[in-house]
Structure 1
Amino acid sequence: MKKHLLLTGALAGLMALGASGTFAQNVAVVNGKPVPKARLDALAQQLARSGRPVTPEMQTQIRQEVIAREVFMQEAEKRGLAGTEDFKLQMELARQAILVRELFADHQKKNPVTDADMKAEYDKFVATNGGKEYKARHILVEKEDEAKTIIASLKKGGKFEDLAKKSSKDSGSGANGGNLDWANPSSYVAEFSEAMIKLNKGQTTDAPVKTQFGYHVIRVDDIRTAQLPGFEELKPQISQQMQQQRQAAFQQGLMEKAKVE
């Protein structure tokens, strides 16, 4: 009799261990069907990737969400909705979206943007945007004679800012007295840039400058050495831009290799 009790106790202990193992793997059991903890973990990871902190309170909400989905899913299956053509089509579209996302994530993982890559890109940026910056103003008009009249008015003491507000067809800068703020010469079309860099601080062009936009009267208010942000400051932007460029090139390459009839 004592031996039988011992065996019964041992079996009960094993069953308890098995049950605790099951619950460790599952969030709950809904209508007799286990809900795996992996679903909760997957949702938590999605939230974490989106930048939302997964707090203990959030874990509770996620658990409730996972259980609710199981309840609703069981009801949908009971009604035969999983067999409809519309459901099958949506499942195929979801499958495609997930696979494409995984493909791009895999490519990014296998082709990381290194610090050396980013530094090389930053050096190109510095080479293009370094040197001098100009704080300039301009008045843009359609005809050369209009520009000549404005230059004559300036030589007689006319105020550049007032003439810009009155006559410039560049409404953005015109409303601000022709102010273009600080910029590198490479920011402008070649004809404008070439005329601007010939001017000293406070000097205005003696003749109209023709570009594809019309005729300009340009004044340089100030000149300084280019104020460029440091590498560490731009690093996140450079990384994102390079990743996007690589993904775009990867996608384009796949499309070009594909045989589409």
Structure 2
Amino acid sequence: MMLIDTHCHLYSTEFGTGSQEIINRARQVGIEKFYLPAIDSEVIDAMLSLEAANPGVCYAMMGLHPCSVNEKVEEELAIVLDWLNKRPFVAVGEIGLDFYWDKTFADQQRNAFARQMDWALERKMPIVIHTRNAMQETIDMVKPYAANGLKGIFHCFSGSYESAKQIVSMDFMLGIGGVLTYKNAGLPEALDKIGLEHMVLETDAPYLSPVPYRGKRNESSYMMEVARKLAEVKRVTLDEIATITTANAQKIFGS
């Protein structure tokens, strides 16, 4: 059985010097690949170092997170573009819209999101989307790009069935993580009529730990709890979850 953690920040300072141990623990339970989304220029060195230390196991993305969009947005986007022109990455991400904490730079977020989708489409790369308090607007921004062939993942999906339907109709994947295990999240009901062919697994480590680890620092091995819960929700075996979600991840990332 092989699984893929399609979204984890294993380079985060929250792990200290323990990233390699976390990777090793996850591999012991069958999680063989780890996809590392970028946040902003401050994390690039750590992210690329972890990738270099784990060839064929850790894969870096490049992008500017919406929560890192501020008065230095043009400088940050220039760094993203420079890296995209320098070497290959598996995806442009994580990018999107986040209006949960602050809408001061809402217009700049929209502009940064659109430009990064342009770059992905030009390079035939998938995108990994972060959206919070902006689901419908995010979907609406993606639609014309999806119509032109852009693919990707709505990371940490926690929306409604109606949102899920719109996303999968664009041929985008739903990133399913720890939220699935939360008692009052309502995600099992939202996913009930959505086929497994539209889902990938993730942790968002060190964030959003699944039950029974909620409140603790998340790590990739805990994704097994998400896989078990998804098997229960979809009424299939854990092996089927592994086979289908792994194939979906490989379809998106090409590796």
Report TM bin, short chain.
under 0.3
Instruction: Provide the TM-score with structure 1 as the length reference.
Output: 0.16
Higher relative contact order (CA 8 A, sep 6+): 2
Q: 1 or 2, which has the higher helix percentage?
A: 1
Instruction: Provide the TM-score with structure 2 as the length reference.
Output: 0.17
